[in-house]
Structure 1
């Protein structure tokens, strides 16, 4: 599955009042693995930026003087987002701006939430941690993700942090290999190799965890227990 973790920065809070996107940051994941095929775009909005917005993200009109207009990157963005599940924190805000920009650029564009699935991590966080603060900064702290470089909001940095948060929220990054060989059918090769190994009457070697690995595992369980109030793994183990 292809997923895009997305964030935007804007000239103000209300897309219907004529405010526009000035930065888009996208982080690509395929099968829950970060691919590095990210997208980062600054945009000239052809309007003033509210001072309150500048205080949040630090982006000025002078900085954007030589940046492209949305019409110059609209097709590129639409193609990049096509066929991907979108992961956004407080999705209605970003979707309102993106849908307006896309429809103003090409009226035939459908709303992104009508084209593919959208996961709102703010909604999911509120379900997991009711009654607690669930801003991106709060979630980074809860999941022990380093956000010390986040003095101001930035679309790409926030998307990168949100990708880490999403992976922690949903069980961690999957990166399991059962064989050294890997290609487009890597999973099938691994399974076939393991089946052949077992058919030969041999048993896989068990690699025991070291004391340091046990300690790291316990620390991770402590984090889970602190974040959710309980740790099912420990209750099953007992």
Structure 2
């Protein structure tokens, strides 16, 4: 019934790179555009899921995961999303913060490797598991409900009209997600650089970790930046 999840995906390197570049440039220029806010749900969810996952793996609890879609709320809070966690000890808190920056690059590489080994179902099932976790934990059910209705409708037509599955799902959708995640490595690098060099914001995660561990904030800026740039380089190398 869901054979389209197992269907091979044809790799189009320049399609991924082109969309990633276009998305990055548009995002820099029109950051608050409502379409970009909706597209950015994917990397935001992965970031917040990373916080939640590492929190639970090291003994903490997750009370809520929120994806902020309102432009006004984003401006007021300065956040695209957040996870409400209860940490039990210093290491738990440390890993909770770190997890948000490790998980999106990891998912990018997982998606590319799944594509290269012609096992797209690994990537799809991982995304489904993450979304299911988000649906259970979030206090704002309307967003995942909308997404579930859209995806459910799309899946229904894919099953009823399987002749369209190759182009619509396995090629375009899969690689659009990879392009957004690839662009996110660049956008996140720009954001954390702005926070460190220009704004000197004391509330961002690197500054919090610096106070926690009494280590220079530059150490965490360098760590986060390195993770994203290495993922960017590795992803492009794997694509080509």
TM class by shorter-chain length? under 0.3
- The structure where helix makes up a greater share of residues is 2
Query: Which TM-score applies when normalising by structure 2?
Result: 0.26
Q: Which structure's CA Rg is the greater one? A: 1
Q: Which has the higher contact order (CA 8 A, sep 6+)?
A: 2
Query: Which TM-score applies when normalising by structure 1?
Result: 0.26
